[in-house]
Amino acid sequence: ITVGGLDRIASAARQMRNEVDGALLLSSGNDVLGSFYRIFQGEPEMRGMSLAGYEVVTPGNHEFDYGVDVYANALSFAKFDVVSANLTVDDAGVSSRIRPYVIKEIAGIRIGIFGMMTPDFSLLCDPPGGGVRVDGEIVSITQRLVEELKTENCELIIGLTHIGFAFSSEIARKVNGINIIVDGYDRDYIHE
């Protein structure tokens, strides 16, 4: 199976947009990581994702591997929305870019998209300089968001999460009103 490659993703997104009335290109996190991220501080990835047509992204834990300042630099090149409802970042610039949710109107349908970071963040990442906290109460936060998105007349609600299959399954079971969960934490393919 072939995966990855921004050019391949951009091409597939263009093709999909030509074939259907409306489409969204989303990312569920960990878009920047490793030595390339450390060296270039996210500029190539964020510019590439913007050119590829990403509309909404939720950060993964690896976005903070080199600290909030590096992620702030990366976000300065991003031309898409960033969502995460349970993530608190002390840096005002980064914090102002991350909203709990966004609403998009695609093909006449109001779509609410909320983001969620793994409650295991502190076990996975210790950002240099700190300044990042995650609220682990994902069920109650998700319930509040879904209720708010319903009052905003959203016809479709998408959870764009970086929390893993177990946590995604938990919010799917316990919170009514989520239509789709797109999660990028685990590396298992699930076709269901």
- 114 backbone dihedrals φ, ψ, rounded to 5°: -110, 155
- Tens-place pLDDT, residues 124-164: 999 999 999 999 999 999 999 999 999 999 999 999 999 99
Q: How far apart are CA 93 and CA 70, in angstroms?
A: 12
- Tens-place pLDDT, residues 33-44: 889 899 999 999
What is the percent of the chain where pLDDT is above 70?
95
Q: Chain-wide mean pLDDT for the chain?
A: 94
In this structure, what is the dihedral angle of CA atoms 171, 31, 63, 45, given to the nearest 10 degrees?
-150
140: its two tokens: 């109650």
First to last CA, the chain: 18
192: its two tokens: 């269901």
Average pLDDT over residues 102-125: 96
Residue 76 is predicted with a pLDDT of: 97
pLDDT band at 186 (very low <50, low <70, confident <90, very high): confident
pLDDT band at 185 (very low <50, low <70, confident <90, very high): confident
pTM: 0.93
Using N-to-C axis directions, what is the helix angle for 165-174 and 138-151, rounded to 10°? Answer: 50
Using N-to-C axis directions, what is the helix angle for 6-19 and 43-52, rounded to 10°? Answer: 20
